[in-house]
Structure 1
Amino acid sequence: MTLHGHAWAVEPFVLKDIRIEGLQRTDAGAVFAALPFRVGDTYSDDKGAAALRALFATGLFKDVRLEVDGDVVVVVLEERPIIASVDFAGLKEFDKDALLKALKDVGIGEGKPFDKAMADRAEQEIKREYLTRSLYGVEVVTTITPQERNRVNVTFTVTEGGIAKIKEIRITGNKAFSESTLLGQFDLDTGGWLSWYTKSDRYSRAKLNADLETLRAYYLNRGYLEFNVESTQVAISPDKQDITITVNVNEGQRYTVTGVKLEGEYFGKEEEFKSLVTIQPGEAYRAEDVATTNRAFTDRFASFGYAFARMDFRPEIDRETGRVSVVLIADPQRRVYVRRINVSGNTRTRDEVVRREFRQFESAWYDGQRIKLSRDRVDRLGYFKSVNVETEEVPNTLDQVDLTIVVEEKPTGNLQLGAGFSSAEKLSLSGSIRQENVFGSGNYLGIELNTSKYNRTLVVSTVDPYFTIDGISRAFDVFYRTSKPINSQGEEYELVTPGASVRFGVPFTERDTVFFGIGLERTEIKAGSSLPTNYREYRDEFGAASTSVPLTLGWARDSRDSALVPNAGRYQRINLEWGVGGDTRYLRSNLQFQQYWPLSKKFTFAVNAEFGWGQGLGGRRYPIFKNFYGGGLGTVRGFDQGSLGPVDNAGAYIGGTRRLNINSELYVPFPGAGNDRTLRVFGYVDAGNVWGGSEEVVNQHCSGMNWESIRASAGVGLSWVSPVGPLKLSYGEPVKSCSGDKIQRFQFQIGTAF
């Protein structure tokens, strides 16, 4: 008797044996495990039906039959074919591996059982992936090729079709602001000549939702408390190539804030909390101010240990007068302490590298400010794409939480390249290879190389940021430099300086670090056919080679919001170098200040100022090889590298003991790039020069440390965060120069800001 689907009725009997037929790959144990009966059990129709359901549910079999032979049940199976390989044809938009991963995530891949339903799911998943890239006309055909041992090769032939692009975006219902103003807030647009890079004309539901939230925030921050997006229509043309988006809005009326009230529990610290309120009575309602105040309140509660404090606000609206009173409602809930801190996602970086940046400690009261500071410190390491702190309640307790630092690793190796072209040096190259996180230890290792015809450098540096448990850093530098000052008479002479130094960094606050160190240098002046006057005098005084033992002292503070594409914040540093030993006695100082101002969502203005000063001590001459140089990248663009300042009687640019640079840049979006901050154009104005000390006998162009001697240039450039590092291209023209200045209009560099 055979049972297949609806089984024929059989009288219950005691099983003497169970046989399985038709297996090729599946383990018999898996079949026996799925059966609801065993030898010695009483077999019945209900158990047979249950067996059929259980075996089909495994997904391993195309057909299942039960045959009763006396007191023996025979399970006859036809296995589903197994996928031997998955391949694609016609791919252009996607890599094969990306689609294989997408299919694997929905249970489709090599080694999996195959059936027609699986092929349909695979086709739908592939189409879904293409829809995320605005390829709505994609077609997928599945080809099944049988192989030996009941296996199949699955090939998906993809006809991608054309990319559906946004033809039109319309906003209706707006009265207070023009449609062009509102569309300017969107990242989606109808395309431009750079859309191949930004892909801003490709429709994405996620991008549209983000733009709608931006639109909502725009209105809510200008008093329109009841603004609402009524509906959104997305229409696609019959040929699936053009998309039209229509957004219908209801602005509502504009409200002015009359006052702010506090309700709820504030532990008697109402005045302290009121000082955190950024909502201004008498001004238009701003949702951003309400959100900022709510965050400030929850952060303050968190600093008291109330990790789960809740803030709510209730607007009391008077529509007749267009006024609103904001009521802030606090519910601190319960105070908790941190039981354990975990680190997750660090596949390369060691746990200790992350943990030593944390200022929240285990078994201490939860402190939201310390946790935020800890997150920021881990983020500033620069080793991770993202850093987040997750708070989890400990089961069966009311006053404990666990913190998990979730990080996503990123490549920490860095390649920097720079180049310039001039009539003097022709093509000069500079570069460096750095590894910020060697072997996941948090240590730095870098090699810097410069192949300039006149200034060649090889520097090897290493930094241990936690040389001591208290966070004191230690750095070693070993270098070999050769310098041939630019000489109009073509004389061959050079400075050769090998040396080494060690320095330490002491963190005095979370943002302030003081550096100090000591070095040893030996500088040799190699004379050619005719040595310039300054070098000859220095060589006569100290000999062909002189040694220096410089002590260094410095301070730095960095509050920029990003090291790659700063939009706001400040960077400051002071470096002092004091020659205390060897043949030299001198003091060399350098001060730098950078400030970034966000003028709007799209525009950023930046200023960089740097001043250098050097002085000989103890009646000794200031070492000529410690001079400052100006002109070119990092100083005054538009002038040849190192060509500003004093020129000796032989026509050599020898630098000077004073240097001033002032740089300003205005960043704007690249045409067609929307609001993408990684690709921007900028206009710049640079000014500065290098001057010699009163003890130096030189011939300076436009001499004297005054306004008349300042050089200035202006130009435009391109800033791009490229895959190998931040790239800057600039083209400038001198706007204030003197006769004899060497001009270098086009310059580019990778890896530096100014």
Structure 2
Amino acid sequence: MNYSGKIFTAAALFMTLCCANMSAQEQKPQEPAPQDSTQLREVTFSENAPMFKSSGDPKLYYIRKINVHGVKYLNPDVLKSSAGLIEGDSIYLPSNFISNAITRFWSQRFFSDVKIGAEIEGDSLDLEVFLKERPRVYNWAFEGISKGKQKDLLEKLKLKRGSELSDYVIDKNKKLIHDYWAEKGFRNTEVDVRIDNDTLRPGQAVNVTFLIDRKEKVKIGRIDFIGNTQFPDKRLRRTFKKTHQKSINIFKGAKLNESDYAADKELLIDFYNSKGYRNATIIRDSIYPINEKRLGIDLEVSEGNKYYIRNVSWVGNSVYETDALQRMFGVKTGDTYDKKTMQKRLGIGKESNPEEMSVSSLYQNEGYLMSQIEPAETIIGADSIDIEVKVFEGKQFTINNVGISGNQRVDDEVIRRELYTRPGELYNRSLLMQTIRTLGSMGHFNPETIMPDIKPVTNELVDINWPLEEQASDQFNIAGGWGSGTFVGSVGITLNNLSVKNFFKKGAWRPYPMGQNQRLSLSAQTNGTYYKAFALSFTDPWLGGKKPNSFTFSAHISEQNNAYYVWQSATQYFRTYGVAAGLGKRLNWPDPYFTFYAEASYERYNLKNWTGFVVENGNSNLLSLKLVFGRNSVDQPIYPRRGSEFSASVQATLPYSLWDGKDYSDQSMSEQDRYGWVEFHKWQFKAQWFQGFLNNSNLVLMLKAEMGYLGSYNKNKVSPFQRYEVGGDGMSGYNIYGIDIIAMRGYEDGALDPTNYYSRGYNKYTAELRYPIILKPSSQIYVLGFLEGGNAFDSWKEFSPFKIKRSAGFGVRLYLPVVGMLGIDWGYGFDPPANSTTKSGSQFHFVLGQQF
């Protein structure tokens, strides 16, 4: 090339980064190295050319070509664009154009060296960009921790193979690792890094290993308060919910979590505010080491004066009378200043709860979406406060549009009919909360993520959108249990989103017609030849699709005989045939949570040579009507945090003995005549209540009580069917005589029944404390501790709600959408079972399915 008449000028900037030791992921097969962009053009001038002059008159140049050298892993065209280098552009030189481009390259953190040169010919120039990429991390690894923790850290740090190595990456991940272990109580964790060149890619790739030394776990040794005169240290420590000093209470963790500690300091101030100390503050706090295993916390507080309410006034309210608002507020002259209670009753601040009645909810439930309640406090003297509650009512909002998104399996019409927020109606927050509960109880959507998107579109109209996250709801169960001296296996399938109307629709079977929230359940139980049972049930929650009136149909058949092996013929058997149909209705009074259900059923028991039971030969018929009155305000079905559920039911047959003219006191009457038509009246009551210990708390207390009694119209014709089996877990899979199985942990199956013919009455009380481990649509896991008491009785005269057998224990529950609820409990029975003098003692129980 002829260089006469050419002027060559180059600009370069040099910078080198020193790489510290780093670390780790698993090995993969070697991949072919990316092509180096420098292979496309040979550089014909020195890289160490003089820099552009910063002085002199700027001259306009045309960028003819831009060549990028040294890039192996990145796209040269993308790099040029990100640095603002575009072929065809015009630039002035000298200027800050080159320095700006170099700065943009450095800001990407991909390079350890950046140089830019230029070859100038007349008013045109070719830019030559020399880049040296940082080495890539071929493998990340950890030393000093278990494989399980290594996997957790890889996911938490989001370490990827092929990413660039830099001091920033190393320092950031060292800090994240330290914070990870500090949250677990290892506050003295040391993290170092080892960086090794990859033997197959020297100079291009490295292997980074984080060397972790957790040291000893550090716990809080003491928490001391300074400046407190009104409350002792012990009382102030109790205001902390998650920050506790080491004590003999094993249920209180003593590790320090920075975010929990910050939240607990706010709780300390809330406590002072609730006791009248409005101006209480934390002047300073310090965390200091006591030794290698303990740290201490000092908090200096300024309590200030205790304040009392002098006057309460209201301004701005026109919709509600001041007296009505004041009655709900409930704060009067002379009361101790209590910020927490005031905010709760007004429905503002962090104490607001949309589920509870408050001044704010009065307005929100009548369409005043933009209403605001603001209490203004005026200090009078040294210990008095005047409260002026300012009410900004605004205009009533009407619902404009209601949208639904995220549903793929459930039809829009099925969801819309469950909504209490409808276009054209006034906005109502209570109906909004009721809709959240209703959608959660359907079982098709993740209840943890159901939250409406509320968007005002004008000063009087609001759109409400319901983004939904679907979860699997169909279930397939396989189980086995031991009952009546034999192993019984069971299999069942439940389709919770069936659509009967689409049975004959083309393309609807994927894998079955779905979308209408109808429920079909099929189950079978057998141990081979000795026992077998089949059951079917179908429920349509909206019969006809117009009103929430449900229809349920069920049928079952079972047989137990003495043919223990396939080649044997049965000479004894007990067969059951049953069919039932019921209608349910949602009630609007006393409130929308109430329901009523009526069911008519027929069962036929066929016995042949069935010794050991009241009836030995013949047929017994049972025609009954069942009525159930219930209420359910539970927020969600799998892990409820608040709400209650109760049901009261009665099932009765006709009193045949009143008119059939038979003398049932005659002991010579055959059992076939006595029980040809079974008669009884059966009463049952169940109630349970859920309450989180704090707002939005996952720690939940469940209290439950239930009782049942089987009565008779004639004391000489007491039904041997439809009784109760009390005790155990009910997992035997074995059920005849139409009995109801009442689980009672800490005791074996049927251990509390006073006779061999089961029980006519029972009571049961349960208290459970639950805490979740995982709450995700794919799986939900929670642990529990329980106290339980109950008993079984053979007559109403013997029945007593206070005669109970006690037990306690703990367990775990796992909910998988495909199989339903699974669980295992360990219980200890403190009392002897029926007809025994020995304590029941330790028992393990298995759970399959939701129980109530």
| Amino acid of the structure 1 residue aligned with 2:750 | G
Q: Distance in 2 between the 1:338 and 1:302 partners?
A: 13
Report what 1:166 is aligned to: 220
SS in 1 for 2:270: helix
Report what 1:326 is aligned to: 387
SS in 1 for 2:420: coil
Find 1:7's aligned residue among 40, 44, 51.
51
Report what 1:654 is aligned to: 757
The structure-2 alpha-carbon separation of the partners of 1:682 and 1:102, relative to structure 1 and needing over 3 Å to count, comes to closer
Higher-Rg structure is 2
Report what 2:790 is aligned to: 686
1:103 equivalent to 2:170? Answer no
1:157 equivalent to 2:210? Answer yes
Report what 1:497 is aligned to: 576
Shift of 1:57: 4.3
Report what 2:368 is aligned to: 306
1:523 equivalent to 2:616? Answer no
Shift of 1:499: 3.8
1:48 equivalent to 2:118? Answer no
Report matched runs for 1:446-457 at 5 Å.
Answer: none
Shift of 1:324: 4.3
Report matched runs for 1:398-413 at 5 Å.
Answer: 398-405=459-466
Q: Distance in 1 between the 2:67 and 2:700 partners?
A: 78
Shift of 1:7: 3.2
8 Å contact from structure 1 (residues 264, 330) kept in 2? yes
Report what 1:732 is aligned to: 829
8 Å contact from structure 1 (residues 567, 596) kept in 2? no
Shift of 1:298: 1.7
Q: Distance in 1 between the 2:375 and 2:154 partners?
A: 48
TM-score, normalization: structure 1? 0.77
Shift of 1:535: 0.9
The structure-2 alpha-carbon separation of the partners of 1:231 and 1:753, relative to structure 1 and needing over 3 Å to count, comes to farther
8 Å contact from structure 1 (residues 80, 115) kept in 2? no
Report what 1:384 is aligned to: 446
The structure-2 alpha-carbon separation of the partners of 1:175 and 1:403, relative to structure 1 and needing over 3 Å to count, comes to farther
Find 1:513's aligned residue among 578, 595, 600.
595
The structure-2 alpha-carbon separation of the partners of 1:276 and 1:726, relative to structure 1 and needing over 3 Å to count, comes to farther
Shift of 1:297: 1.8
Find 1:297's aligned residue among 359, 368, 379.
359
Q: Distance in 2 between the 1:689 and 1:594 partners?
A: 20
Report matched runs for 1:139-154 at 5 Å.
Answer: 139-143=191-195, 145-146=197-198, 148=201, 151-154=204-207
SS in 2 for 1:276: helix
Moved more, 305-314 or 40-49: 40-49
8 Å contact from structure 2 (residues 310, 386) kept in 1? yes
Report what 1:624 is aligned to: 720
Shift of 1:592: 0.9
SS in 2 for 1:215: helix
Q: Distance in 1 between the 2:764 and 2:67 partners?
A: 87
Deviations 1:216-243 (A, max 9, x none): 333433444333333332224574x432
Report what 2:687 is aligned to: 594
Report what 1:696 is aligned to: none
Find 2:243's aligned residue among 188, 206, 212.
188
Shift of 1:366: 2.1
| Amino acid of the structure 2 residue aligned with 1:505 | G
5+ long unaligned stretches in structure 2: 1-8, 14-49, 348-357, 499-513, 563-570, 657-674, 730-741, 772-780, 816-821
Q: Distance in 2 between the 1:493 and 1:227 partners?
A: 81
Percentage of identical aligned residues: 15
Shift of 1:410: 6.8
The structure-2 alpha-carbon separation of the partners of 1:364 and 1:100, relative to structure 1 and needing over 3 Å to count, comes to farther
Report matched runs for 1:599-748 at 5 Å.
Answer: 606=703, 608-615=705-712, 624-631=720-727, 634=742, 641-642=749-750, 647=755, 653-655=756-758, 658-659=760-761, 661-665=762-766, 681-691=785-795, 705-707=796-798, 712-723=803-814, 728-734=825-831, 739=835, 744-747=840-843, 748=845
Find 1:80's aligned residue among 120, 125, 133.
133
Report what 1:131 is aligned to: 182
Report what 2:648 is aligned to: 574
SS in 1 for 2:369: coil
Shift of 1:360: 1.2
1:203 equivalent to 2:256? Answer yes
Shift of 1:389: 3.3
Shift of 1:573: 1.1
Q: Distance in 2 between the 1:359 and 1:712 partners?
A: 45
SS in 1 for 2:615: helix
Moved more, 469-478 or 557-566: 557-566
The structure-2 alpha-carbon separation of the partners of 1:367 and 1:738, relative to structure 1 and needing over 3 Å to count, comes to closer
Deviations 1:363-390 (A, max 9, x none): 5432222212222333444553524535
Q: Distance in 1 between the 2:584 and 2:826 partners?
A: 34
Q: Distance in 2 between the 1:744 and 1:428 partners?
A: 24
Q: Distance in 2 between the 1:237 and 1:561 partners?
A: 46
8 Å contact from structure 1 (residues 495, 625) kept in 2? no
1:470 equivalent to 2:561? Answer no
Moved more, 405-414 or 461-470: 405-414
Find 2:627's aligned residue among 553, 575, 595.
553
8 Å contact from structure 2 (residues 746, 807) kept in 1? no
| Amino acid of the structure 1 residue aligned with 2:631 | R
Question: Pairwise CA RMSD of aligned residues?
Answer: 4.9
Report what 2:396 is aligned to: 335
Shift of 1:562: 7.3
Report what 2:74 is aligned to: 26
TM-score, normalization: structure 2? 0.69
Report what 1:489 is aligned to: none
Q: Distance in 1 between the 2:139 and 2:252 partners?
A: 30
The structure-2 alpha-carbon separation of the partners of 1:414 and 1:151, relative to structure 1 and needing over 3 Å to count, comes to farther
Find 1:248's aligned residue among 287, 300, 304.
300
SS in 2 for 1:624: coil
Q: Distance in 1 between the 2:626 and 2:489 partners?
A: 29
8 Å contact from structure 1 (residues 266, 330) kept in 2? no
8 Å contact from structure 1 (residues 605, 664) kept in 2? no
Shift of 1:731: 2.3
Report matched runs for 1:416-455 at 5 Å.
Answer: none
| Amino acid of the structure 2 residue aligned with 1:662 | N
The structure-2 alpha-carbon separation of the partners of 1:433 and 1:25, relative to structure 1 and needing over 3 Å to count, comes to same
Deviations 1:419-441 (A, max 9, x none): 9999x869999998878779897
Shift of 1:718: 2.2
Deviations 1:258-316 (A, max 9, x none): 55322223335334433422436555443333122212122121223221211111344
Find 1:233's aligned residue among 286, 298, 322.
286
Q: Distance in 2 between the 1:598 and 1:19 partners?
A: 69
Q: Distance in 1 between the 2:181 and 2:765 partners?
A: 44
Shift of 1:326: 3.5
Q: Distance in 2 between the 1:13 and 1:607 partners?
A: 85
Find 1:39's aligned residue among 88, 100, 113.
88
SS in 2 for 1:386: helix
Q: Distance in 1 between the 2:470 and 2:290 partners?
A: 42
The structure-2 alpha-carbon separation of the partners of 1:66 and 1:387, relative to structure 1 and needing over 3 Å to count, comes to same
8 Å contact from structure 2 (residues 831, 838) kept in 1? no
Shift of 1:348: 7.9
Q: Distance in 2 between the 1:512 and 1:478 partners?
A: 27
Find 2:117's aligned residue among 58, 66, 73.
66
5+ long unaligned stretches in structure 1: 486-491, 648-652, 671-676, 692-704
SS in 1 for 2:234: helix
Shift of 1:166: 2.0
Aligned length: 704
